[in-house]
Amino acid sequence: MDRVLYVLTGPTAVGKTELALRWAEAFGAEIVSCDSLLFYRGMDVGTAKPTATERRRVPHHLIDILDVTETWDVARYVTAARAACDDIRSRGRRVLISGGSGFYLKAFFAPVADDVEVPAEVRRMVAARLEQEGLAALVAELRALNPGGLGALDVCNPRRVVRGLERCLASQRTLADLATAFTRQPPPFADWQSRIVQLDRSRAELDARIDTRVGQMLAAGLVEEVRRLVAAGLKSNPSAAKAIGYRETIACLEGRMREDELPAAIGKNTRALVRKQLTWFRTQLPAHPVRPADASDVPGLF
């Protein structure tokens, strides 16, 4: 079978799950998740994770592979996704990538991570310096290590400064050298062909679907799910704890928001996410067709 990645994406609440299931059933495919929150066990209600019934219809990969206290990055995702795609293909099945998490999605089309490995002791040292000396000290060291300048690095963003300093210390190279090397490396899936389709709906439809989804999540026990996850250590993982639906519910559990304010807060933040996703799809993905989600026939999807 040809090495082809069929990629189905679109904004939150557009209807990817059901169409992905129908296409996979019709064409003998298995689904590889490209959603940055479906990795986590227990984050079910707030992520609209495919149900057990849906996952019995079609095999899914890269769902429920991490505890909520574990961190994950795009380099680890690429390794896991390649292994899943190779396994699916080896069994004569098609590969369907489904999800809307931009950075992970980009891994199927372009380089997203270099080969710099930052030792744990370097991470600990930089983190300790940030806490003890502050951001300005880290920026000063970065400037000393990069006499040619810091390029477009946002020196007001602690996470980006920390990451830049870690990589310079670990590689003994400048940010400019690392950026040049990065642009020369092949995409992680250069040995696969890719076909991408984006689903879309009118903003009015999306807004209505978002409101319906938020209501369903709260009725299905989102608050109770978040309470359990917080007890299990969710807040030690900022990426997961700050996800839409979870951060608002944490605020509610901590008394910083009333429970009757949750639907509006989650809905508002989900709409903001959709706007960002649509911009990202338009500017960061290769040219691709955009199809109406409510009129997409399965045979002609790709």
Question: What is the pLDDT at residue 6?
Answer: 97
- Residue 116 pLDDT more than 90? no
Are 114 and 182 in contact, with CB atoms under 8 Å apart?
yes
Question: What is the pLDDT at residue 75?
Answer: 86
| Section 191-200 average pLDDT | 95
What percentage of the chain reaches a pLDDT higher than 90? Answer: 84
Averaged confidence pLDDT in the chain: 94
- The model's confidence at residue 115, banded by pLDDT at 50, 70 and 90, is confident
**Structural domains of the chain, ranges and CATH numbers in brackets:** 4-111+188-292 (3.40.50.300), 120-184 (1.10.20)
Question: What is the pLDDT at residue 251?
Answer: 97
Are 253 and 227 in contact, with CB atoms under 8 Å apart?
yes
Strand order in the sheet with 4-9: 60-61, 29-33, 94-98, 4-9, 193-200, 290-292
CA distance 86 to 95: 9
- Residue 7 pLDDT more than 90? yes
- The model's confidence at residue 1, banded by pLDDT at 50, 70 and 90, is low
- Residue 153 pLDDT more than 80? yes
- The model's confidence at residue 64, banded by pLDDT at 50, 70 and 90, is very high
